[in-house]
Amino acid sequence: MNQLRGTGVALVTPFLPTTNHAVDYAALRRLIDFTLDGGVEYLVINGTTAESPTLTVEERTEILRVAKEQVAGRVPLVFGLGGNDTAAVARTLRTIDLTGVVAVLSASPYYNKPSQAGIEAHYLHLADASPLPLILYNVPGRTGSNIAATTTLRLAQHPNIIGIKEASGNLEQCIAIAAAKPDDFLLISGDDMMTTSLISFGAVGIISVLANAFPRSFSDMTRHALAGDFAQASQLLYEFVPLNPLMYEEGNPVGVKAALAAQGLCSAAVRLPLVEASEALSEKITLLTHKVQGVAAG
């Protein structure tokens, strides 16, 4: 799966700034071209940054169709599909048309807070059901439970589980995975600001939120790190230090949609229970977005 090396974008779902916030498919096409022109290596469609819990089955299907049409084979596509009802996720995996997709990214069950044995059983069930390779997604800050390194390493033995997007923020845990994982098991950063650190001990790249709005700078940073040029990668990373916390201050993807709106790429609209960035936050994000753009242009 070397095609998943580098920068993947956890693509947002643009919405029209209308009362019902319908999907803005014209903006979706525009955003796809913007990220690909920025040099990213692949796209993740319908991930949690896409506000997937608020999308209907019909919208998810149409978003995937539009994405495949717009990408036109230029980069690989990964499809996000998770949930806290194992049987329901497995049924969807067996029935959904994933033609043109190379892998499925599946977040660990949220709210249920399963034990490690439960998390392992959940993923083994999905891996057996999935027609495509499965990438685990560990994001305990959102799900309420952590996938321990020992659990990840056991799951890595399943032939249909090819990697993990690690967003625990726990470097020691990530190092433990890197030290003992199979050679072909992908360790992928799920935290933008930890990308260079994880690459330094074996990660193959990042599935990024920031790369929605800053694909050129972020993919350049990742490529420098993968080439072993950590000095140059760090200089690019430092530009995001003031901006990154603002991405999550009022929820994700509230912040990154404000950054996209500042560039005229899509509206800042999000679906309830999220609300658009406050005026104060939006002003700060707009200012820093233009600053990062200026540095990249220079």
Distances (CA, A) of 181 to 117, 122, 185: 19, 20, 6
How far, in whole angstroms, is CA 288 from its chain's centroid?
22
- Looking at beta carbons, which pairs linking 91-96 to residues 24 or more positions away fall under 8 Å? 91/129, 93/126, 93/129, 93/130, 93/131, 94/129, 94/131, 96/61
137 catalytic, yes or no? Answer: yes
Higher pLDDT, 255 or 3: 255
Percent of the chain with pLDDT over 90: 95
pLDDT digits (tens, 9 = 90+) for 177-210: 999 999 999 999 999 999 999 999 999 999 999 9
From 25, 42, 123, 165, the catalytic residue: 165
Instruction: Write down the pLDDT at residue 164.
Output: 98
68 catalytic, yes or no? Answer: no
From 25, 42, 123, 137, the catalytic residue: 137
Instruction: Write down the pLDDT at residue 295.
Output: 67
Q: Is 276 exposed, middle or buried (0-12, 13-18, 19+ CB in 10 A)?
A: middle
Say how far apart CA 227 and CA 5 lie, in whole Å.
Answer: 12
Confidence of residue 102 (pLDDT cuts 50, 70, 90): very high
Say how far apart CA 13 and CA 21 lie, in whole Å.
Answer: 11
2-230 folds as: TIM Barrel (3.20.20)
Return the structure tokens found at 75: 């980069």
pLDDT digits (tens, 9 = 90+) for 59-94: 999 999 999 999 999 999 999 999 999 999 999 999
pLDDT at residue 52 tops 70: yes
pLDDT at residue 297 tops 70: no
pLDDT at residue 268 tops 90: yes
pLDDT digits (tens, 9 = 90+) for 14-25: 999 988 899 999
Domain positions in the chain are: 2-230
pLDDT at residue 296 tops 80: no
pLDDT digits (tens, 9 = 90+) for 221-250: 999 999 999 999 999 999 999 999 999 999
Say how far apart CA 130 and CA 151 lie, in whole Å.
Answer: 19
Q: Which residues pair with 105 in a beta bridge?
A: 80, 135
Instruction: Write down the pLDDT at residue 1.
Output: 67
CA distance between the termini of the chain: 34
